[in-house]
Amino acid sequence: MIEVSGLTKTYGNKRGITDITFSIDEGEIVGFLGPNGAGKSTTMNVITGYLSATAGAARVAGIDILENPLEAKKHIGYLPQDPPLYLDMTVNEYLDFIYDIKGVKGGMKERKEHIDKVCEMVGISQVRERVINNLSGGYKQRCGLAQALVGDPDVLILDEPTVGLDPKQIIEIRNVIKDLGKNRTIILSTHILQEVSAVCERVLVINNGRLVADDTPTHLSAMLTGDHKLEYRIAGPKDKIIACIRSVDGVKSVTPTVEAEPGAYEYLVESAEHIDARKLIFQSLARAGYPVLLLKNQDLSLEDVFIRLTADKKSPAKGAK
Amino acid sequence: MSAIFKRDLRAYFKSPLGYVYLAAFILVLNIYFYIMNVYSGSCDLQNIFSFIVTMCVFLIPILTMRTFSEDYKQKTDQLLLTAPVRLSGIVLGKFFAALVVFLIGVCITLVYVVIVATWGTLEFATVLGNYVAICATAMAFISIGVFISSLTQNQLVAAVVTVAVFLGLYLLDYSYSLMNATWAKNLIYYFSMFRRYNDFTQGIFSFADLIFYLSVAGVFVFLTVRMLERKRWS
């Protein structure tokens, strides 16, 4: 449904994105993950035809966005990072305008039904008579999403659709996106790992303008929350505890960090990859009589993921087509 | 194109801009009509038209300053440029919206026409020619304003630059009478936006001048389209 090959965009002599290649099948929900400034928005802007690529091509529904922009754009619903709202219009007027500008075919009755449906879907039915400028940030974001949905496009490109929403709204919008994904192809960008795991079937990780991974969220999160880096809080003498944990098979290193409670230190325990040392460590500590007060996986930040991804894979992104 | 035209036209009257513009236009024009026609008992309406052309220097920039600047600022250009609409459709929609607001203002002169026709003698053909000409002239000025607006996301900058450009054109016209050499006069006349209008006020319907105004409009609409295109590649 979406094919991107060798996409490169330079701004003057500053590189936006470099040689990005991937393809997305019909009905997939794909997450675009990367820190701010990684090139997510640039890639999306190129796919939607807002920017032109310096090199490479993007095709939507088999149509090249540069060769036949009008046809290609008909297949795309796009929510840019800042929702493109005419603040002086009411929600109704705005969506009417979008309906016209997208050239959706249908009489007055179809128009009303369609816009009613879209408003219902994103939950803005109760604010339709209000001027957009007076709406809260969350509602503005939803209006932006509604705009993308008008005309029932088969491809939705959503640039950080949940930014500015409160936690309850985030969950609602994620559910809306999941629902929409049942019969549409969706790309959504985010810099939040949980969002990708919650919504997407596939993740494209982008960093410094390059595609560094193309993977499933399950695999990605397994990597992130792997059992080989653990944080322990254990009561007892530091030296003896270190020795005790070190004696366990598979443990690579033990590093005490801080004294979190009186007489209890925190330790960072790293075991060899793919070895779950938790049971052995527990038993060993229990035998020695040092109670474990706390045990958790060490959370990797997005940056850590990128460092890992770029370090692990010298070869091109796995599974990239 | 029609969707953008409708939205932009409505937008003029969603903010005070459209009303303030029309109020200023009509007020100044009424005063002018009172002094030049009613008070001095003249049936000559041509002055009004050439006065409108002079007023374009300050009035058209108010109409055109926001056309693209506002979209850039609100980032709605992203919406327009990713919608299945031609760039020329976007530019023309905005262009005609500004033109219609201008023409709504010009409609006030119909009242003068009725007054003069009732209590004086009206040169009907001349007046009709002037309406056609004022429309073409406004198209030329508006297209320049729209183009300048497409260069910046700051409305104020757009307005100031447009006024400056129009004043420059006005002064160029002014320097016509100061020149002695025929070639210099010809050259200035070639770029003249204001002096060119004189023929119409004297009742001469000059097709060449009409074509000139329409060509200027065409060129700047085209340049605006190129400008939007260029933004994508920058």
Tell me, yes or no, if A78 comes closer than 8 A to chain B by beta carbon: yes
Verify that A231 and A154 share a domain, yes or no.
no
Tell me how far the alpha carbon of residue B105 is from its chain's centroid: 11
User: How far is the CA of B152 from the CAs of A157, A253, B77, B146, B160, in angstroms?
Assistant: 28, 59, 12, 11, 11
pLDDT at residue A316 tops 50? no
The sign one gets for the Cα dihedral B186, B191, B194, B197 is positive
**Structural domain count, chain A:** 2
Residues A190 and A290 in one domain: no
CB A230 within 8 Å of CB A296 = yes
pLDDT of residue B180: 83
Residues A76 and A129 in one domain: yes
Residues A105 and A211 in one domain: yes
Would you state the structure tokens that stand for residue A250, as one six-digit string? 């598979």
Task: Give pLDDT tens digits for A222-269.
Answer: 666 555 678 888 888 888 888 888 888 878 888 888 888 888 888 888
B208-230 pLDDT, tens digit per residue, is 889 999 999 999 999 999 999 98
Q: Are residues A267 and A191 in the same domain?
A: no
Q: What is the mean pLDDT of each run of 10 residues along chain B (234 residues)?
A: 91 91 92 90 85 90 93 92 92 95 92 90 87 93 96 94 94 85 84 84 86 95 94 81
- Range of lowest pLDDT (A123-127, A292-296, B64-68, B86-90): A292-296
| Residue-level pLDDT at A303 | 64
Q: How many CB atoms lie within 10 A of CB A245?
A: 23
Q: Do A160 and A243 sit in the same domain of this protein?
A: no
Q: Are strands A29-33 and A202-207 parallel, antiparallel or unpaired?
A: parallel
One domain, residues A186 and A155: yes
Which of A223, A258, A282 is the last residue before a domain boundary? A223
For residues A231 and A219, membership in a common domain is answered with: no
Interface check for A155 against chain B (CB to CB < 8 A): the answer is no
Both A212 and A232 in one domain: the answer is no
User: Can you give the pLDDT at residue A320?
Assistant: 41
**Averaged over A187-209, what is the pLDDT?**
84
Domain membership flag for residue A306: no
Could you tell me if B212 and B206 are in contact, meaning their C-beta atoms sit under 8 angstroms apart? no
Residue A136 belongs to some domain of the structure = yes
Mutate to test the interface with A, among B10, B70, B76, B79 (most CBs of A within 10 A): B79
Question: What pLDDT is recorded for position A148?
Answer: 93
Q: Closest to B75 (Cβ–Cβ): which among A52, A82, A102?
A: A82
Q: How many C-beta neighbours within 10 Å does residue A139 have?
A: 21
CB B142, CB B60: distance < 8 Å: yes
CATH of the domain at A145: 3.40.50.300
Q: Does residue A256 belong to any structural domain of this protein?
A: yes
Residue A93 lies in a domain: yes
Other Cβ atoms within 10 Å of B131 Cβ, number: 18
Identify whether residues A31 and A99 lie together within a single domain: yes
pLDDT exceeds 60 at position A169 = yes
Contacts of A48 in chain B (CB under 8 A): 82
pLDDT one-digit tens code per residue, B128-162:
989 999 999 999 999 999 999 999 999 999 999 99
DSSP-derived pairing of the beta strands A55-60 and A29-33: unpaired
The answer to whether residue A309 is domain-embedded is no
Range of lowest pLDDT (A47-56, A198-207, A224-233, B25-34): A224-233
pLDDT confidence of residue A130: 93
pLDDT score, position B217: 96
pLDDT recorded at residue B65: 93
The verdict on A235 and A210 lying in the same domain is no
Give the rounded percent of residues in chain A with a pLDDT score beyond 70. 90
Domain-terminating residue out of A223, A244, A269: A223
Domain boundary among A207, A223, A239: A223
Nearest to A148 by CA among A48, A40, A28: A48
A213 Cβ partners below 8 Å, 6+ apart?
A203, A204, A205, A220, A309, A313, A317, A318
Say which CATH number the domain at A252 has: 3.30.70.60
ipTM of the complex: 0.87
* Closest Cβ opposite residue B232 in set A52, A70, A100: A52
In which domain, by residue range, is A235 found?
227-297
Cβ contact A100–B11 (<8 Å): no
- Distances in Å between the Cα of A5 and the Cα atoms of A23, A211, A234, B83 are 8, 12, 52, 23
- Asked if the structure places residue A134 within a domain, the reply is yes
- Nearby residues of B229 by Cβ (< 8 Å), 6 or more positions away: B87
Q: DSSP class of residue A165? A: -
Establish if A11 belongs to a structural domain. Answer: yes
A130 inside 8 A of chain B by CB: no
Which letter, b or e, does each residue of A162-187 get, where b requires 16 or more Cβ atoms within 10 Å of its Cβ? beebeeebbebbbebbeebbeebbbb
Domain contains A312: no
Q: Are residues A42 and A130 in the same domain?
A: yes
